[in-house]
Each structure stands twice: as C-alpha cells, then as structure tokens.
Amino acid sequence: MKLKQLLNLELIAIGIIWLFHVSGIIGIIYGNSRWFVAATPLNLFLCIFLLILVSWKTPGFIRIALLSFVLGMVAELLGINYGYIFGSYQYGEGLGWKVYGVPLLIGANWTIVTVCSAAIASQIYKQMIPRIIIGLGLMLLLDFVIEPMAPILDFWEFEGGEAPTQNYIGWALVAFPLQFFYHYWKVEIKHWFAHHLFLLQLVFFMILLLKINTLQNLL
C-alpha cells in the first residue's frame, strides 16, 4: 500500500471514530440514551475493524492482536465462571453476543486497549521496561475510568456493586505479559489511529463519569 493511500485510509479511520464517539457522547447524554447505549457493540466492532484495517501489515501486529484476544477471553472466562483473577462479576447485555457468559467483544477490547496503550508507550520511551510500565498504567487507567460506568451501561457488574482491588491486580497480571510481548516482538505502530482511539475511549468514559448522576436517571 502506497504511503498516500495509507495516510488517506488512516485519516478516514480517525474521522470515523471521532464521529462515532462524539455522536455517542451527545446522544447518550442529550438524546435517545437507550438507543445509543444499545449501539455500543456496533461502535466497538467498528473500532476493532478499523484498527485491524490500518495495522494488519505492521510486523507482529496480528500475533499481538490474537494473543490479546485469546488471553483476554481466557482470563474473562475464568473470572465469570470461577471467580478467578478479577473477582466475582457477571456481564450484562450491553456488549452483545457471549460465549459461556463472556461477550466476544471483550476479547476485541483487550486487543484494542493493549495495542493502543503500547503504541502510546512506544512514543514516550525507547527502553522496553519503561514502555511496559507506561502501557500497563494506561490500561489500568482506562479500566479505572470505565468501572463506575459499567453497571449503568449494562456492560458488567461486580458482586457488591463496586470493582474490588482484586480486579485491578488481575488486570495488571493479564496486561503485563501482553505489554511484554508487544515490545518483545518489536511491534511498531507507525500511524496515529491507535493514539486517537485510546484518547477517545478515555475522554468518552470520563465525560460519562462526570454525568453519572444524569445517566442513572436516564437509563
């Protein structure tokens, strides 16, 4: 693929995710909240599709994408069915089709979060260990922001209503090998789509978090 074509594809992809996320924020807070929340699986599917579309030729990307999906799904299956790793929780209906209680899109989300956070970390440090630490921190930050919103959006809910400390420890344990292999395999994302996607997800849930009381009345 020529550089000009790649840039055009990347710009189109970035424009699409900005359109969907900004529309989602406005729609959930000020529009038909239930309809926009129900469209979450479509938005997440679009994000993973576009990430693959602009990244699949990057050496090592397919390996880390598959590893993130598989390891993420295995961890979630152990969590849902046995209470291991993250604690006791259950998924709602907000993320679409499930396999043994775990939405397939959760595996896709592990890929998105791993790749995007590692790509950002790669831009900050050249050394492997700082990259892993930064990528791990970014993954935990996003989870920390999403957790209070998850039950309201019918994504998932922990027993007792709040995510326990075990959840964040579990996230770190699963995220660490994913960050390690991303950098060990020398995956180098050259585009900025991953950076935009991580930023949009973070801003999206931070804005919803600020409007949490309003959302509880709307949904």
Q: Where are the domains of the chain?
A: 3-218
Q: Residue 90 gets which letter from DSSP?
A: E
Summarised one tens digit per residue, pLDDT across range 72-81 is 999 999 999 9
Q: Return the SS3 of 37.
A: helix
- pLDDT given at position 211: 84
Query: What values do phi and psi take at 35, rounded to 5?
Result: -65, -45
**Whole-model pTM?**
0.93
Return d(Cα 185, Cα 177) in angstroms, integer: 12
Summarised one tens digit per residue, pLDDT across range 43-61 is 999 999 999 999 999 999 9
Share of the chain above pLDDT 70, in %: 95
Return d(Cα 53, Cα 37) in angstroms, integer: 25
Note the maximum CA span of the chain: 53
Per-residue pLDDT at 2 exceeds 60: no
Return d(Cα 169, Cα 140) in angstroms, integer: 9
Summarised one tens digit per residue, pLDDT across range 142-185 is 999 999 999 999 999 999 889 999 999 999 999 999 999 999 99
Closest CA to 90 of 106, 71, 66, 112: 106
